[in-house]
Amino acid sequence: MRDALGAVQSVLVLGGGSEIAVATVKELAKERCRTVVLAGRDPARLGPVADELRTAGVTTVDIVAFDAADTASHRTVIDEIWAAHPDLDVVLLAFGVLGDQALFDDDPAAAADAAITNYAGAVSSGLAVAKNLKDQGHGTLAVITSVAGERARAQNFVYGSSKAGLDTFAQGLGDQLVGSGASVMVVRPGFVRTKMTEHMDDGPMATTAQAVAVDIVAGLRKGSNTVWSPAKLQPIFAVFKLLPRPLWRKLAARQN
- 3-class DSSP string for 158-179: HHHHHHHHHHHHHHHHHHHHCC
Mean pLDDT rounded to a whole number for the chain: 93
Judge whether residue 4 has pLDDT over 60. Answer: no
Judge whether residue 201 has pLDDT over 80. Answer: no
pLDDT value of residue 203: 64
**Residues in Cβ contact with 237 at an 8 Å cutoff, skipping those fewer than 6 apart:** 147, 150, 151
Three-class SS state of 63: strand
Question: pTM, whole model, 2 decimals?
Answer: 0.93
113: number of Cβ within 10 Å: 15
- Domains in the chain and their CATH numbers? 10-253 (3.40.50.720)
Is 159 one of the annotated active-site residues of the chain? yes
Q: Which of 159, 169, 191, 228 is catalytic?
A: 159
**CA 12/CA 91 separation, integer angstroms:** 5
Burial call 22-54: b when 16+ CB within 10 Å, e when fewer = bbbbbbbbebebbbbbbbbbeeeebeebbeebe
Are 85 and 55 in contact by the 8 Å Cβ rule? The answer is no
Judge whether residue 190 has pLDDT over 90. Answer: no
